[in-house]
Chain A
Amino acid sequence: MFPRPIQTASPGARALYRVALPVSLIIWLLPLLAIFLTSARTAQDLAQGNYWGWPHGTNLFGNYAAVFTSSPMGRYLLNSIEITLPAVAGTLVLSTLAGFGLAKFRFRASSFVLAIFIAGNFVPFQILMIPVRDLMIHVFPLYNTIWALIVFHSAFQTGFCTLFMRNFMREIPDSLLEAARMDGAGSFRIFWLIVLPLVRPALAALAVLEFTFIWNDYFWALVLVQSDSARPITAGLQALQGMWLASWQLMSAGAIVAATPSVVVFFLMQRHFISGLTLGSVKE
């Protein structure tokens, strides 16, 4: 293990480490702690310029309630959920099928197809922006509906997810599939009955990862929707910036509301999340 386990260090060093750990965490998360504290302040506190001092009373519930009653934040939150869940499902379906096709069938173009999926996943969004927006306006009239975001995210995220699923499925022994084939099972039966149950951990990892990616998207929300009825919470929060110009307690509470779902998903599914992020980076 590197560095040397702290248990083997001198008592002084051990004590220092125990102190350094929480102190560095507080410094690291200082901006977030500040915003959380602000979200609990009263408007008067802020009006008097008491931004960082000890609050003269708190209004935690009042501020969070005001976020939902005095702005379309509730609508945005709901939109985000209605966009994220189907988009995650869509990209998982597309990429699990494609991953299987690329991992377990041999054909000449398979490396090429995989390379296209990988490369496409890296392109800057701006090279897609104008045509995708036009497609959503003129070809599939989905512009300014949540479906524009669902369809686009499903399609785009398929690049990364296909690579992920394909790598995972390659580890499934071919003999397993061969045995099923001998018993007369077709490709779809093999996929459904053998492969799918085996890739559940990978699906879980991708689901949490994609949830945060899509939940946190801001650029496409800006490009593909513009009215409150379809706007997800990231773009909604930005739109409220103007309205809540001096109401920092509301802005902070709104930011916390926008951040909470992905944080919760991360904490609940941490193990999967990290195994998804680091896939391929540790084994060589």
Chain B
Amino acid sequence: MSASANRMRGGMAALPFIAPAALFFSVFVLWPIADSIWVSLHDWDGIHRMRWVGLGNYTELFGDDVFYTALVNNIWWLLSYMLAPVFGLAMALFLNQSIAGMRLYKSLFFFPFVISQVVVGLVFSWFFNGDFGLLNLGLHAIGLHGVSLLGNANWATPSVIVAGLWPQTAYCMILYLTGLTAVNGEIVEAARMDGARGWNMLWNIIIPQLRPATFIAVVVSVVGALRSFDLVSIMTKGGPYDSSAVLAYYMYEQTFLSFRYGYGAAIAVVLFAIMDIYIAIFLVIMLRQERR
């Protein structure tokens, strides 16, 4: 629907409606962003006076090995999370049938997204446990050696990502299931008449029609990947030896465990800058859709 001519006029009349939300949002979201940038230019332990260091925290950051580990891990998270839309689409195609009980099946498949990441993290820590985890039991059963995945510097990050992909895939699945109900049946039938089927049909007819679902699935997966904190905190605490740190966790650790507030703020600003790229892309696409 385009902007209509007889909408009510005037910013002053809208003010009492928007002001409360705008006030809360400014105090707890907008101002803190600015303040974090300010804090990042200081040396601060959170208690005593802040000491101005200019870009000192940033120069230190760019020489910090753990920062690079966290940054690289974030990139792994981001890339791996792009599997969530792919798996989610596959699951949605598998479940997009109408037989008795299908609704219940769909809801049960969606389960992992509804529960807290704290619970997901605990469940998977238990699953991956080196001594008695179900995974190792399976490995033993087929004659392989068990491994303590979360205690292994090479495997910790991939293991945590697997745990994260579980709910994320469920989320993408629901987006695609809804998208599939909106696919134009006539076009599908017409393509079938023309002999399109299987991959060909999926790639040329279905996926283009699922673009809105794909857009949202990618957006929420990117945000989910960059926000990854809960699972790292529950499953590995960034270890062993900081090998599974991500920016979100490293920031928390530096601030509260090492009492380096300024340094923590600088890490947050870097993460924010990365996220801004995605926010900008999202806004541009959204506002363009709006204008049509």
Residues of chain A with a CB closer than 8 A to B226's CB: 124
Q: Shortest distance in angstroms between B47's beta carbon and chain A's nearest beta carbon?
A: 11
Total A-B residue pairs with C-beta atoms closer than 8 Å?
Answer: 310
Give Cα A284 to B182, complex, Å.
11
| Cβ-defined contact, A2 with B278, below 8 A | no
**CB–CB B35/A101 < 8 A:** no
Q: Point out the residue from A6, A109, A151, A219 that lies within 8 Å of B230, measured CB to CB.
A: A219
Number of contact residues on B: which range applies?
35 or more
Bound CA–CA A154/B20 (angstroms): 11
Contact check: which of B94, B114, B282 meets A266 at CB < 8 Å? B114
Whether B75 is near chain A, meaning CB under 8 Å from some CB there, is no
Which residues 1-60 of B sit at the A interface, judged by CB distance below 8 A? 1, 3-4, 6-11, 13-18, 20-22, 24-25, 27-33, 35-36, 39, 46
State which of B7, B114, B211, B215 has its C-beta within 8 Å of the C-beta of A104. B7
B122–A251 touching, CB < 8 Å: yes
Bound-state Cα–Cα, A215 to B212, Å: 28
B contacts, CB < 8 Å to A: 1, 3-4, 6-11, 13-18, 20-22, 24-25, 27-33, 35-36, 39, 46, 93-94, 96-99, 105, 107-112, 114-119, 122-124, 126-127, 132, 134, 137, 166, 171, 174-175, 178-183, 185, 188, 201-202, 205-206, 211-213, 215-217, 223, 226-227, 229-230, 233-234, 247-248, 251-252, 255, 261, 264-265, 267-269, 271-272, 275, 278-279, 282-283, 286-287, 289-290
CB distance B119 to A278 under 8 Å? no
Interface residues of A (CB under 8 A from B): 1-3, 5-7, 17, 20-21, 24-25, 28-32, 34-35, 38, 49, 51-52, 93-95, 97-98, 100-102, 104-111, 113, 115-120, 122-132, 134-135, 151-152, 154-156, 158-159, 162, 170-171, 174-175, 177-178, 181, 187-188, 191, 212, 215-216, 218-219, 222, 234-235, 237-238, 241, 248, 251-252, 255, 258-259, 262-263, 266-267, 270, 274, 277-278, 280-284
- 4 closest Cβ pairs, A-B complex: A101-B17, A107-B11, A105-B14, A131-B32
- CB within 8 Å for A105 and B171 given contacts A124-B275, A128-B28, A132-B32: no
CB atoms of B216 and A127 under 8 A apart? no
Residues in A neighbouring B183, C-beta threshold 8 A = 1-2
Given known contacts A124-B268, A124-B275, A130-B36, is B117 in contact with A283 (CB within 8 Å)?
A: no
Indicate whether A2 sits within 8 Å of B96 (C-beta atoms), given known contacts A95-B21, A234-B116, A255-B119.
Answer: yes
Contact A154 B29 (CB under 8 A): no
Q: Given A120-B25, A129-B252, A174-B6, does the pair A212, B114 have CB atoms closer than 8 Å?
A: yes
A-B CB contact pairs (8 Å), 10 listed: A34-B127, A93-B20, A97-B21, A105-B13, A107-B11, A119-B283, A129-B252, A130-B46, A219-B229, A263-B111
B214 to chain A, nearest CB (A): 9
Q: Is the interface of A mostly helix, strand, loop or mixed?
A: helix
CB <8 Å contact, B8 and A125: no
Contacting residue for B93 out of A2, A122, A134, A154, CB 8 A: A2
Give me 15 other A-B pairs in contact (C-beta within 8 A), A31-B126, A187-B13 excluded: A95-B21, A98-B17, A101-B14, A102-B18, A105-B9, A109-B11, A122-B278, A130-B36, A131-B31, A155-B28, A174-B4, A262-B116, A267-B107, A277-B171, A282-B213
